[in-house]
Amino acid sequence: MRETRFEHAVELRNFMFDGCLISAFVEWWRPETHTFHLSWGETSITLQDVAYHIGLRTADESVGGCNRDFQLWHQHPTWEWVENLLGAMPPSQKWGGKQVFAVRMMWLRDQVAHISDGAASETLRQYIQCYLMMLIGGFLFTDKSATIVPLRWLSLLEDFD
């Protein structure tokens, strides 16, 4: 994790949500101005606020990736690349008969659930890559369901430098 310079994000895993506080903020949110209307005035959450509270660096290059045509974008057969980086082939994801370029959070959790003592460095690297995909998809760039992680973030795991 130190090699990825991401070890501080491990603390995110025990993050607790306060449902009452979230409900209160939903009531105070004004979508027309993208601000919260509190008793002392309007306020908004900035990227700097988020970075401060969860300890993320914002001074490096931005991240992104493609949502489709992985073989054209990354010059890798998509699912072979997934297997190489994560150490196993996830079950195929299809919605409405179409291929979905994502892995399920439960599958990632199962991959990292049992790290054997004395595992080879390549195996440990694959565990870390699965764990980072969980952090990315479950905390940093989550969708509404927080059940899948798009493969667009896979390129971030290829080269830790």
The strand ranges marked E within 87-135 are: 94-95, 98-99, 102-104
pTM over cut 0.85: no
- Local structure of 108: helix, strand or coil: helix
pLDDT along the chain (161 residues), means of 10: 63 65 83 86 82 67 59 68 85 72 86 82 85 82 77 77 64
CA angle centred on 27, ends 23 and 29, rounded to 5°: 110
Give the closest residue to 125 by CA, choosing from 161, 87, 91. Answer: 87
Task: Assess contact for 9 and 55: CB atoms under 8 A.
Answer: yes
Residue-wise pLDDT for 49-79, tens only, equals 777 766 666 666 666 555 556 555 556 677 7
